[in-house]
Amino acid sequence: MSPTDATRRTFLRSTAAGVAATSLAMHAQKSPAADANSKLRIGFVGVGGRGFGAHVKSLSKIASEGANIELVAVCDVYDNNRNRAADYIEKENGGKVARYVDFREMYAKENLDAVSIGTPDHWHAIQAIEAMKGDMHVYCEKPMVKQVEDAIELVSVWKDTGKVMQVGVQGTSLPVWDAAREKIDEGLLGKVLMYQTEYFRNSDIGQWRYYKLSKDMTPKTIDWKRFLGVEEGLAEDQPFDRAVFAQWRRFWEFGSGMFTDLFVHRTTQMMKATGLRYPARITGSGGLYLEYDGRQVPDVATVVAEFNEGCQGLVTATMAASETPVQQLIRGHYGSIVFENPNASEFTFVPERPQVTHISPNDLPYERQIIKTEKEAPKDQTKAHFENWIAAIENNTPQSCNNPPDLGAAAIVLVNLGARSYREGKIYRFDDETMTISEADGSWSKKWEQVSKERGKPEHVPGWKAGDKGSTINDPDHQRLEGPWIDGKDPAA
């Protein structure tokens, strides 16, 4: 762990204690939770690219359609972002929108019921934790946090406060993942063995450099030290740099490139479809092989995750080739689910041959089948994701969010430890009982060898309802000849 990370850990621990006291005062000032006669007061933290284009615009549209919400304040370290967002809300929704540079000042003064966070990754944990401690519901852009330790702490705060928090992987609001999960739990695939997914891209200018730099980005218009988070120990002090400010995903202190910007999307969706959560063993690899533009994060990367349920997950991509991505799919002993277009309301089931499954082709046709979901996919995933969040707040049902923090944390463990594995050249283990990280050894392979030696039974994904379906193999007659010869005696005798 770097000195900066250590400082962050110390800060978050002090935040959890300190904010507990200040939140009592904030709670005393807050009105009761929004009811049928009061609007949900929402503020925004970070209204740059995604924060404005997705958060502000989506909630503004939802408000204009009559939702019981009111957009009352925005906070951003950059003058232009702050004013653009506030002006937009005032024009689209009416009313006066307060403008802040310091999110803590906004939290303290605006009597907010909820906040929408769209800041760089390294700020997410502090801003979300302080909001929930301050009696506010939270929508937080993905990744939920930057570090595994932050994810564990945030989930604890979420559970303690009972607030509603949605993590901004908007694709989890598509019905296809729940539909696939139902089929998997029923045993359609048999024993689930592995999933693979991707997020390939390509660009002639290098990834994330499409975020434009402008001359009016200066230390006079941007609170640079607040962006860095120097006082909080989030990043080291450094000279102002427009590229670092606008294209922060290229640099490890603030983001983790494709690991947290892109892999977290696909990983979360696959976890939702399979029911898998925390991986037990994680390996990351890749490198900077083409985009030599001053970036630190790789342009080719792969993460392989192993789960205690006896399943492997693969997420892979390059940022410099996009026309030949790997298929997104989930494999089982009886067949596979292929997501040819995850944005659609259907997926394809590809069965294994009857000679393996021993299922009659009349019961399960030996051909591809398109399975349609009962619900149609929303035309606007991001808007649907925000609507899901608001409904969960109104109904006081935190787990009805399509991407709650416990799912968000599981995805963070996979992608963050994948990035750390790549950077540090180590393989990591994660213990989901103690929520601790360690370096891997040979125990993983020995565990499965022991299960085989004892003729054990396969583990299954959480939610499995199909008994032994698709999770056994047959012993051919000649295996009766198997076994060691003890004292020269043939075991077959």
pTM of the model: 0.92
- Residue 443: left if φ>0, alpha if ψ -120 to 50, beta else—which one? alpha
Residue carrying structure tokens 């000279």: 239
CA nearest 135: which of 353, 393, 378, 379?
Answer: 393
Structure tokens at 404: 């709650």
pLDDT number for residue 17: 45
**Per-residue pLDDT tens digits for 212-223:** 999 999 999 999
Would you list the domain boundaries of the chain? 3-172, 175-211+247-466, 215-246
State how far the Cα of 53 lies from the Cα of 312, in Å rounded to an integer. Answer: 36
Length of the chain: 493
163-194, pLDDT tens digit by residue?
A: 999 999 999 999 999 999 999 999 999 999 99
Q: What is the CATH number of domain 175-211+247-466?
A: 3.30.360.10
The parts of the chain modelled with pLDDT lower than 50 are 3-4, 7, 11, 13, 16-29, 31-34
Instruction: Return the pLDDT at 366.
Output: 87
Q: In this predicted structure, what is the pLDDT of residue 490? A: 95
**CB count, 10 Å around CB of 198?**
19
Backbone φ and ψ for 87, nearest 5 degrees, come out as -60, -40
So what's the pLDDT on residue 247?
A: 98
What CA–CA distances, in Å, run from 337 to 179, 231, 267, 331?
11, 48, 16, 7
Q: What is the mean pLDDT of the chain?
A: 93
SS3 label, residue 288:
coil
Q: For domain 3-172, which architecture applies? A: 3-Layer(aba) Sandwich (3.40)
pLDDT, residue 204, reads 96
